[in-house]
Amino acid sequence: MNLEMQQFKAEFFKALAHPLRIRILELLSDGDKSVNEIQTLVGSEGSAVSQQLTILRAKNIVTGTKEGNKVIYTLKDPMIIELLAVARQIFNNHLVDTITILDKFKEVDEEAAATPKN
């Protein structure tokens, strides 16, 4: 059972491992959208958006529903919104850590510059 869960997680995260797919999911977090709406919002050509939507659909991360002559995409599981929020928080924590380290280096450099040299 554990191996199946690890495999699922690996495949799931592989499906998320593209900046455009993440952007699409962020947009869908705000509500359902058509392909044209997504294309306009990401500023990308249709083939790139369609390709990424196909991958997300194949992994059951989004669903597409035909409405007239367009397909409306929605998140399959609303917990994706929480996952993206957690990823954003991890990024922010990483950024804070990086800034703290850089500030320490800056202090050391300033102290070294202020110390008279013989």
Q: How far apart are the first and last CA of the chain?
A: 68
For CA atoms 15, 89, 94, 19, give the dihedral sign. positive
Per-residue pLDDT at 101: 83
Per-residue pLDDT at 53: 95
63: left (phi over 0), alpha (psi -120 to 50) or beta: beta
Output Rg (C-alpha) for the chain, integer angstroms: 21
Per-residue pLDDT at 75: 96
71 in helix, strand or coil? strand
Per-residue pLDDT at 105: 77
Per-residue pLDDT at 98: 82
Per-residue pLDDT at 50: 92
Per-residue pLDDT at 91: 85
The model's pTM: 0.76
For CA atoms 26, 21, 87, 81, give the dihedral sign. positive
Provide the residue-wise pLDDT of the chain in tens; the chain has 118 residues.
689 999 989 999 998 999 999 999 999 999 999 999 999 999 987 789 999 999 999 999 999 999 999 999 999 999 999 999 998 898 888 887 788 887 777 777 777 777 776 6
Residue 31 CA to its chain's centroid (Å) = 16
